[in-house]
Structure formats: C-alpha cells, structure tokens
Structure 1
Amino acid sequence: MPKITTTDGTKIYYTDLGTGRPVILSHGWPLSSDAWQRELKLLADNGYRAIAHDRRGHGRSSQPWNGNDMDTYARDLAELVEALDLHDLALIGHSTGGGEVVRYAAQHGAGRVSKIVTAGAVPPIMLKSETNPEGTPIEALDGIREGVLKDRSQFYQDLSVPFYGFNREGAAVSKGAQDDFWRQGMLVGLKGAYDCIKAFSETDFTEDLKALDVPIFIAQGDDDQIVPIAAAALKSIDLVKHGTLKVYPGAPHGIFGAYQEELDADILNFLDK
C-alpha cells in the first residue's frame, strides 16, 4: 500500500491511478478514500491521474494522538503533494474534505493548484453562532460526539440514513451503501473521529475562501441534512473570486445515486474547461 511519512511521523495512505493532469480527492467524515472509488476510476478513465488519500486517523493511515485538526490535515495534504511533485493540480473535496482542500489551496497551494471542486463542504463555518444563525447548533454536534463515544458502531449505522437521504419518502435505499459507510467509519480511530468533529464544525474558512484565486465549483444538495446549505455553499459562493455554484434539487449530503451521476458529469465538465 503506497504511503508517505509526514514530518511528524504520521503515515498517510493514498491511492494513485491513471496518468495525466493530477486530481486529488479528499473524503468526508468518518469515511476514507474508498468513498471516492467510483470517481477515481471515472477520472482515470478520462485521462486524469486520480489520487485519493486517507486523512490521518482515518482508513489505512496512522492514528496519531495529536494533529486531528484542519491545519494539520492541510499540512499533511501539502506533504503528499510535495512528495508526489504535483503541479497544475485540481482538488476535489466532500464535506470535511472540502474544508481540507480549501485550507490547503489557500495556505499551501500557490503555484500548484489550478482548480477546486467542493461538494457539501463545511466552509465557511458550520457551527451556529450569532453571526452564523444558519449553522448547526453546538448541542447537535455534542450529540455526534456522544454517539461516537457511547456506541460508534450503532451511531455510524444510524447516521448513514440521513447522510444519504434514505429517510426521505420514495428514497431508493441501498443497504450496501449503508454497510459501506459503517465499514469505513469503523476504520477511524476513536480519538481521530472525536477530534475531527470539532475540526470540521468549528474551523472558520472565511479568509481561506477569500484568498482563493483559482476557479472553484461549489456543489451542494438542497436536502443536505448534515451540512446546512444556508451556512455552507450559499455563503461560500459570495466569498470566492472565481466561483460557480450549483444546487442539486432534492440531493442529500452523501454522494450517491442520481446525485452522484449528475455531480460526476459536472466535475468532468468543470475539469475539462
């Protein structure tokens, strides 16, 4: 399994498929690079070098006690990009991964990053406050922490339902998708899973978004039950210089089914421009 070792000794696993212009895909919480299997093949089939990594604490990467925060995630990504010597790089990030690629691009990616795609991403900030009344209340986030600590196996099974919108009337429920969500979640170390909740919900990416000087495609479903679209995509588009927003009617947070098919086509179109 290909891995790099970061300066603090953390081993970061990655998948590297195809040849051509490089594209890095960053996964959401509590998943791993396996969440991007379909997109990795699609990109490689269409002439791109498709790379996806497991964030520290997740998947097949190391589970260090420290560094489960957005600044360190972005530095890990920077070290991966440098190790692979990637240029003219496109970034794709879902949910927490959207925050990771935005911070990386703003703080480490100058001269390397040429395009960005986010889907259901957490920027500019997920946590509800007086200045962000559309955000997620701290009580709901504390509930996630409690669920992870109390019975993470059952919690991940339960979370998969709203994640993919399987609790909506008429939804085409996939037991396989739920099982795979649970499988990936159970690979996350408990400390990393717990700390990442704070990282994805309380990190403010406002200045990162303002600093971006490359085209960014911002995608989100309007039935996202995990990351409120009013606090996310609808605010992010007003902070970036070269942004395109697409809202997917009825689409959930998780990239699956008809939403995945449409988003994947839009990603290819955006990258090919």
Structure 2
Amino acid sequence: MPYLDKTTAAADSNISIFYEDYGTGKPVILIHGWPLSSAMWEYQTPALIDAGYRVIQYDRRGFGHSSRPWDGYTYKAMAEDLKDLMDKLDLQDVTLVGFSMGGGEIAQYVDIFGNERLHKLIFVSSIAPFMLKTDDNENGVPKKVFEDMKAAVSSDRAGFLPDFGENFVNYNDNKDKVSQGQLDYNFNIAVAASPKATLGCIDAFGKTDLRDAMKKIDVPTLFIHGDADNVVPMEPTSKQGHELVKDSKLEIIKDAPHGLYLTHKQELNKLLIDFID
C-alpha cells in the first residue's frame, strides 16, 4: 500500500499517511469526514475516474490505515499533511474536495499555503468556516454540544458511534437509501480509528475559526449542503462560507442529510463532475 512517510517537526517520530491514487487527468483530492476514513468515497471515486480525472484519496492521521500519533490533531498539522502529499505526488492544478471535517483542511491549507497549486475547491457538508456559537457567530453550535461529544467519546466511544451513525444519514427517513449493512460498515471504520484521534479532532472541527482563512480563497469554489443535515447546521458553515468566498456557488440538496454522499450520491456526483468540468 502507498504511504507518505514524514517526520514530525515536534518529535522524533515518523508518521505515515496512507493514500490511494487512481486514474489519469487533472488531479482531484478527496478528504474524508470524521470519524471515518477515505473508504467513505467508495461511490464518488469511480464516478470521477470515469469522468476522466485522477483521484487521490487519503486517510487523515489517526484514521484508516494512517499512523496513529498521540498528538497533532489540529488543522495546522493536518493541512501540512495535505501539502506534503501534494509535494510527494508533484501535483498542480488540483481540485480539493472536503467532506464535513475535510472542509477545514481545505480552508487551513489555503490560509497557510495559498491558492497557487489549486484549480477549484469543493466543500461538501462542510464544517467550515466556523461551527462554534460565539457572540459574533450566533447561528453556531453551543460549546456544550462539543463538550458532550467529547465526554461521550471518552467514556463509551463504541456506544456513542452507532447513534451518531444513524443521525449522520437521518436513518429513519432514509432506510430505503441506506442499509443496515452500510451503517455497520461505517461503524466498523469509525470504531477502528485511534481513540485519541477521534477525541482530539472534535476541538479541531468544532472550535476552529476559519472565517479569515476563507476570505483568502481565490479560485472557483462550490459549497454543497443538504437541507436536512442534523449534524452540521448550514447557516454558520456552507451559507456563511458562500458569503465569505467571492463568486462562490452554493448548491442545496433537498431532503439530504449530512451523509449525502450515501443517500444522494448520484446528485452529489453530478454536482462534483459538472463543477470540476
């Protein structure tokens, strides 16, 4: 299996980032959500390859087949992982697609490394720019929600994940679109992740303010969100991001939950391919 091998700046420890690289054409990097892995892109990767793109997907540190360091679950560290992977593969004119937590990597990447190597950006059900409710982000999520998530993950991670997984796809409303087998598969991916990474990433996606970072985006950008998302509210995320990123587009998928890559995969795939084209 291919890996990006790197040494952390903070310690004499090696970190390996697992990735897969398929197809030819302009490169598209798929960045997964929490608490999953790049395996979540099972239904997007073939569609993008068939449309003529080179598709790279990778596991965030602490998840999937990547290394499980004790520290480093900040967007700064994860954006550096993304940059190192682009360096290793010598990628230019890249489209970045970030789902949920993956949207934060995109924003932080631009904040640190700029737009030079980028073709387009796509935020799907993204947490960016800012999830946390504050005096100047009134539509955000109260801090207690994230603290309760951290407490649940700390005390009974395996017990927390099944309910989260059902809410992820609004299972009661989408049993015709998502099987119990798919829920079980998502659970197996999530429970196999590093407990420390699962916990540490909550502060990253829940409390990182990326509003100024979004203002630096200077390439064509698309936000995609479901209007039935019960995990990531649209107002402080995709709608606010659309307002902050000049000339960006916002596509709202009717009745789609957070995990619309499963429930509305044909609609999502068409939006991805049409925008990249």
TM-score range, shorter chain: over 0.9
Partner of residue 128, structure 2: 123
TM-score, normalised relative to structure 1: 0.96
Partner of residue 98, structure 2: 93
Alpha-carbon shift at residue 87 of structure 1 (Å)? 0.3
Q: After TM superposition, where is structure 1 displaced by more than 2 Å over at least 4 residues in a row?
A: 167-173, 255-258
The answer to whether the aligner puts 1:143 opposite 2:143 as a matched pair is: no
Structure 1 residues 257 and 190 mapped into 2: Cα distance closer, same or farther (>3 Å)?
closer
- Cα distance between partner residues in 1 of 2:5 and 2:263: 37
5+ long unaligned stretches in structure 1: none
3-state SS in 2 of match to 1:237: helix
The answer to whether the aligner puts 1:191 opposite 2:192 as a matched pair is: no
Residue 156 of structure 1 contacts residue 181 of structure 1 at CA under 8 Å; is this kept in 2? Answer: no
- Cα distance between partner residues in 2 of 1:131 and 1:101: 23
Residue 103 of structure 2 contacts residue 128 of structure 2 at CA under 8 Å; is this kept in 1? Answer: yes
- Cα distance between partner residues in 2 of 1:14 and 1:197: 23
Partner of residue 53, structure 1: 58
Alpha-carbon shift at residue 110 of structure 1 (Å)? 3.1
Partner of residue 215, structure 2: 210
5+ long unaligned stretches in structure 2: 9-13
- Cα distance between partner residues in 2 of 1:138 and 1:106: 24
Alpha-carbon shift at residue 109 of structure 1 (Å)? 4.4
Q: Which one is further off, 124-133 or 26-35?
A: 124-133
2:84 to 79, 86, 100: 79
The answer to whether the aligner puts 1:63 opposite 2:42 as a matched pair is: no
- Cα distance between partner residues in 2 of 1:241 and 1:195: 32
- Cα distance between partner residues in 1 of 2:125 and 2:55: 20
Alpha-carbon shift at residue 258 of structure 1 (Å)? 4.6
Q: Which one is further off, 116-125 or 133-142?
A: 133-142
1:112 to 117, 124, 136: 117
Residue 75 of structure 2 contacts residue 204 of structure 2 at CA under 8 Å; is this kept in 1? Answer: yes
Partner of residue 4, structure 1: 4
- Cα distance between partner residues in 1 of 2:202 and 2:129: 15
Alpha-carbon shift at residue 81 of structure 1 (Å)? 0.3
- Cα distance between partner residues in 2 of 1:237 and 1:150: 37
2:252 to 247, 252, 270: 247
Give the percent of matched residue pairs that are identical in Structure 1 and Structure 2: 38
Alpha-carbon shift at residue 172 of structure 1 (Å)? 4.2
Q: Count how many residue pairs are aligned between Structure 1 and Structure 2.
A: 272
Alpha-carbon shift at residue 183 of structure 1 (Å)? 1.2
- Cα distance between partner residues in 2 of 1:168 and 1:129: 32
Q: Which one is further off, 85-94 or 148-157?
A: 148-157
3-state SS in 2 of match to 1:211: coil
TM-score, normalised relative to structure 2: 0.94
Residue 27 of structure 1 contacts residue 95 of structure 1 at CA under 8 Å; is this kept in 2? Answer: yes
Residue 237 of structure 1 contacts residue 244 of structure 1 at CA under 8 Å; is this kept in 2? Answer: yes
3-state SS in 1 of match to 2:73: coil
